[in-house]
Amino acid sequence: LFQHRVFIMGKITASFGLVLTTAVVVAISAYFFQGQEATNYVEGARVDQTTGFAFPLQQDFKVAGKKLALLGLGTRKKVFLNVYSVAFYGSRPVEKALATKKENKSRCETIIESKGKKAAHMTMSMGLDAEKMAEALSNIEGVKQSTKHAFGNMILTGINGKLKKGESMTIEWRFPNSVSVTARGEIIGEVKDQDLYRGLLVVYLGAKGVSPTLKADIEAVAE
């Protein structure tokens, strides 16, 4: 009888522990994912719900020009860390290319191949060293080592230390081979190389793009 009581008490304790653990998980999930069902649109802008950063539906850029349209936004993650939000913009020729894209082409592929001006605008969700950013953006397959070195050094010296949380960086493309970088609203340099031009577009929009949520958002936009 005593053993039977111990067995029942053990089952009750285990059940209570399971219920408590489940409750804790649900509470934590509710805390971290609260508001995820809310719309990510605000007046004249869209919000990256993961980081809370807002990006205007149209934006002017130093090199790519005025009134580029927001084509999609997402988050660059590293394991469980949110590194930065990234919004991708395109000029009118890019929008026209999307409106007339071939059925066998994705929207991301169409953007890569389009001739219009483009921009990837990033807002940091955490501090990021210039060295890490330079290494990540210059390590591109199919680009000459001398070009990688020049582009990496341009970013390294232009950022000069570290991009802090909330600070921005922008990559701007001008067909057929111009890539410019802006940090904290100031142009830090330009490199003209066709392989770099395409390679950086692939970094964001290619099959192994650094932000799957950005690609998914671009593809999800209604035709």
Q: What is the pLDDT of residue 78?
A: 92
CA geometry: angle 174, 177, 182, nearest 5 deg: 55
Burial of residue 106 (CB within 10 Å: 0-12, 13-18, 19+) is middle
Q: What is the pLDDT of residue 41?
A: 85
CA gap 223, 206 in Å, rounded: 20
Strands 168-174 and 118-124: antiparallel
Peptide bond between residue 176 and the one before it cis (omega within 30 degrees of 0): yes
Q: What is the pLDDT of residue 167?
A: 98
**Rg over CA atoms, the chain:** 23
Distances (CA, A) of 205 to 138, 210, 216: 16, 8, 10
Q: What is the pLDDT of residue 12?
A: 41
Predicted TM-score (pTM) of the model is 0.82
**Could you tell me if 153 and 129 are in contact, meaning their C-beta atoms sit under 8 angstroms apart?**
no
**Could you tell me if 179 and 191 are in contact, meaning their C-beta atoms sit under 8 angstroms apart?**
yes
CA gap 27, 155 in Å, rounded: 42
Helical pair 194-205 and 145-159, crossing angle rounded to 10 deg: 70
**Could you tell me if 163 and 127 are in contact, meaning their C-beta atoms sit under 8 angstroms apart?**
yes
Of 144, 159, 223, which Cα lies nearest the Cα of 191?
Answer: 144
Q: Which residues of the chain have pLDDT under 50?
A: 2-39, 223
pLDDT digits (tens, 9 = 90+) for 95-146: 999 999 999 999 999 999 999 999 999 999 999 999 999 999 999 999 999 9
Distances (CA, A) of 178 to 25, 101, 209: 49, 24, 20
